[in-house]
Amino acid sequence: MHFYGTAAQNALGHLTVGGVDVVDLAREYGTPLYIMDEALIRRNCRAYVESFRQHYPNFDVAYASKAFLCTAMAALAEQEGLSLDVVSGGEIATARQAGFPMERTYFHGNNKSPEEIRLAMEVGVGRFVVDSTRELHLLENMAAERGRTVRILLRVTPGVEAHTHEYISTGQLDSKFGIPIAGGLALEAAREALRLSHVELTGFHCHIGSQIFDLEGYRIAVQRMLDLAAAVRAETGFTASELSMGGGLGVRYVEGDRPVPPEELVACLSAAVRGGAPERGLPLPKLIIEPGRSIVAEAGTTLYTVGTIKEIPGVRTYLAVDGGMGDNIRPALYHAEYECAVANKLGSERTRRVTVVGRYCESGDVLLTDVPVAADVAPGDLLAVFATGAYNYSMASHYNRFPTPAVVFVSDGRADLVVRRESFAEMAANDLLPERLRAGAPR
């Protein structure tokens, strides 16, 4: 069995993470439960920062909040010297609540609302990552009203298609994100940005996809981004001081996944920019990357309680848990795969094959298909699903009116609750019942 980070098996045959027995976590915090290995998160953050210190003189590592964000995660990122990539007013508010320095935030989004832009200006977001010429002019007008100037990166699409699922490939030409380099559209957007009085262009941004195992796409993207920077300089005299290459590095979800270590990505990007910029007569820009999944995915374990086990002879065995698509939509959305184990019976032989399903009213509520588990698995046991730290909590829903699970950080034998389990009352707190609909009201 493959263990991630600090995960291990103790003398009782139980799974431990961060030196904490998950059976004890289930007893104290209930299930479903998101468990985050704090030491592994910190190790991944440091791998990026320390690699850049070795390979490149001027850099920024911005954690992609969309992968997993709560106030504790924002605070951890700040402690590790990371900036934040935020994509909504909610993520901005969470970062601010954590006391994160807002000048170290990059505000993304292909359709930012005026309300979100207003909030971002008020709290002093460091960079707006502009996704369209419409946004350029919206920023110009709103900044002018406030008598200020905002700094921006232009998000462009370099036409690089990463080898990944089509729904999470965002660098190719046909994408809802960014302004294409092809056809001179990005060059024209840069010209337009430079004509505006309340927008300060600092550089360019791209993101070529997610769950990437092949670094060649990054190398090609760097060359195309530097070509754009050189073309903009030749046309306008503007020299980009910042170049953001996004995130997207892959992680191990199942046997056979071969992720590239962060150190290799940093070395690849650094070498490409250090070689390519001088070739085009450009000074070295500040190099920015935005890892998310590769920092938190493998640090997450979701813990469930086993319920009904239904065997259909000659077909399959269904093992139902007390969560499902409401706390992990990725299998239904992306056909994502995971590995699992019966957390309180790690010593048992894993000879029984089951399909793990959730408790939601959808036939597509399947978490894992035909996976091995302990032969003696029974109702009441605990099932651990690994590598669930990225996008599971972030994409959790109230479907079927189930509350969202709790989140705990574990480290050095200690567990800290960082997100309380939502109660039924909290879930329904925004519901309003008009008088005419109350019981006994005349129809």
- Which DSSP category does 411 fall into? E
Helical segments of 242-364, H only:
262-279, 293-296, 330-334
Cis peptide leading into 331, omega within 30 of 0? no
* Dihedral angle sign, alpha carbons of residues 46, 51, 54, 57: negative
Give, as one character, the DSSP assignment of residue 103: G
Handedness of CA 14, 17, 19, 24 (dihedral sign): negative
The set of residues, in sequence order, having a beta carbon less than 8 Å from that of 316 and lying 6+ positions away, is 353, 354, 355, 370
Q: Which residues sit opposite 312 in a β-bridge?
A: 316
**Cβ(222)–Cβ(273) under 8 Å?**
yes
Distances (CA, A) of 114 to 92, 94, 119, 150, 277: 14, 19, 9, 14, 36
Q: What are the structure tokens assigned to 202, written together?
A: 């600092």
Counting Cβ atoms within 10 Å, is residue 383 exposed (0-12), middle (13-18) or buried (19+)? Answer: buried
Q: How far apart are CA 263 and CA 55, in angstroms?
A: 10
The order of strands in the sheet holding 8-9 is 8-9, 15-17, 20-21
Q: Which residue has the tokens 């019981």?
A: 439
Place of tokens 């729904």: 167
* Antiparallel, parallel or unpaired: β 105-107 and 83-86: parallel
Question: Which residues on adjacent β-strands are paired with residue 84?
Answer: 63, 105
**Cα–Cα distance, 269 to 263 (Å, whole number):** 10
344 contacts: CB under 8 Å, gap ≥ 6: 13, 14, 15, 22, 23, 381, 382
The single residue of 206, 268, 340, 361 carrying the catalytic annotation is 361
Cα dist from 250 to 262, 307, 308, 419, 430, whole Å = 10, 33, 34, 26, 38
Catalytic residue flag (residue 340): no
* Structural tokens at position 356: 């793990």
Q: Which residues are known catalytic residues?
A: 361
